[in-house]
Chain A
Amino acid sequence: MRREIPLILTAFVGFTYILQFFIPHAPFNQLDRMLNEWIQVIAAFAIWLGALNLMKVSLNKVSRQSENWPFALITIFGFLLTVIVGLFLSGGRGYQSPGTGFDYIYRNIYAPLSSTMFATLAFYVGSASYRAFRARTKEATMLLLAAFFVMLGRVPIGDYITAFLPKGYRLSDFATWIMNYPQTAGYRAIMIGIALGIVSMSLRIILGIERSHLGGEE
């Protein structure tokens, strides 16, 4: 029963979604709307589960005083501070308005930390490209050239060094052409491949052939 009911539930909601696409009338269109709302509620609980699990792991670390436990304490402090300020001290539904405590945390703690975290990836991408871009084969050379022209075409120096060429033939135009045609063609092939993969995997899940999401036997 622990596996059969979830399998039936998966098949039922999966087929409901597929049916409402082909029969967009009552009751299928109403079911579709309702399931969409339900999934948003469950998604919120899923994020809560993740956050509460983080707290559980961090509290365990602190109580056992395992390695690096003071950092777990900082994590707990950051979580509690944001939740308490956001839920109780930021004026309810207007919690994101300028001047609220939650907005202060967002602008001065969350935004600087997240944007810097992503910005530092530029350096790691750079060092990875050093290894990947050595033009050893024809394919690697094409990868290198495409990246080189797109990067150079997106900054002012690209047009500056090709200023002797007529407008429409400068580096920024070439970068735009790469993005609009060869890149679009390759990207379409990838997107069609992904779509076909997702369609076949969805069908496997709905029919109960793919069951890995239910975990191991318990």
Chain B
Amino acid sequence: METGFTFANTLAALLTIGIISFLWKDNLLYKICEALFVGVSAGYWFVILYYQNLLPKLFDNLGITQIFGGDPGEPGALQVLFNEGRADSRLLYIFAGILGIMLLMRLLPNIGWIARWPIAFTVGTTAGLYFVSYFHSNAMAQLESSIIPFTSFNNIIIVVGTVTGLIYFYFSAERKGVLGGVANVGIWFLMITFGAMFGYTVMSRMSLLIGRFDFIFATWLGLV
């Protein structure tokens, strides 16, 4: 990265200072940076999703890119249909396009209900996918890794922590007697987990902050 007072560095530094200034109080510079961030983020993902999903998966497969003079390397389903007279399986992508356009109907209040179809499709797909993948990779795989012999102190910690933590999430019986005691041990393990995860998160945020200060003081101002 170029160092010093270039236009690009100054712009990036002013935007960084603008966001950090919120720590002092809500001010005009922060509000400008925040509004710009919202707009640029929306635009950024708009462009990314167009090039990474819509263009290769919808427009190239159907042949819409080729109609507008683009060259993705092979004829699309529409070219195959009209030039060779056969139906390519990629023609089915038209349904994905129709569902996508139906989703955009949400913007029109009178026919917004049409968006329920693609929403139902997305929710159904996600539910089906998660039903299988979470059960397989999270529940079963985690259980498999937790059933280990008591040959070391660390193994005992893993087994006891997992089992007591799971018992804490068992809400179908009153927490008293042995169940209450075991659930309490589970709470201790969960507290250690939350504390460790919190510490880890703080450190990752701090490293981002150090990165921004490094940019301002080393790259932009050249003081370090």
Contact = CB atoms under 8 A, between A and B. Distances in A.
Interface of A: 2-3, 5-7, 9-18, 21, 34-35, 37-56, 58, 68, 71-72, 74-83, 86-87, 92-93, 95, 102, 104-123, 125-126, 129, 138-140, 142-151, 154-155, 178-196, 198-199, 201-203, 205-206, 213-215, 218
Contact of B36 (A74, A120, A190, A193): A74
18 contacts: A17-B125, A18-B132, A48-B104, A56-B107, A75-B39, A116-B15, A118-B208, A119-B20, A119-B212, A140-B191, A142-B191, A143-B195, A150-B196, A181-B154, A182-B193, A185-B193, A195-B139, A199-B135
Interface residues of B, number: 116
Contacts of B195: 142-148, 150
Contacts of B5: none
The 8 closest A-B pairs by CB, nearest first: A185-B161, A189-B165, A78-B39, A17-B128, A82-B43, A186-B193, A146-B195, A86-B47
A109 B40 CA distance: 8
Given A39-B122, A44-B53, A142-B192, A192 B117 contact: no
Contacts of B36: 74-75, 77-78, 109, 113
B57 A108 contact: no
B63 to A, nearest CB: 15
B120 A10 contact: yes
Q: By DSSP majority rule, is chain A's interface helix, strand, loop, or mixed?
A: helix
Q: By DSSP majority rule, is chain B's interface helix, strand, loop, or mixed?
A: helix
B217 interface: no
A182 B157 contact: yes
Contacts of A192: 138-139, 142-143, 162, 166
Contacts of B192: 142-143, 146, 178, 182-183, 186
B134 A194 contact: yes
A31 to B, nearest CB: 10
B189 A182 contact: yes
Nearest to A6: B120
Chain B CB within 10 A, most for which of A5, A44, A117, A205: A44
A12 B223 CA distance: 62
A116 B19 contact: yes
Interface in B48-103: 49-55, 57-58, 70, 92-93, 95-97, 99-101, 103
B194 interface: yes
Contacts of B107: 49, 52-53, 56
Given A108-B8, A187-B193, A122 B33 contact: no
Contact of A79 (B40, B55, B99, B104): B40
Given A48-B104, A74-B39, A79-B43, 16 more contacts: A6-B119, A10-B121, A14-B128, A38-B121, A41-B54, A45-B100, A52-B104, A75-B42, A113-B19, A119-B209, A123-B23, A146-B191, A155-B203, A198-B131, A199-B135, A213-B119
Contacts of B70: 92
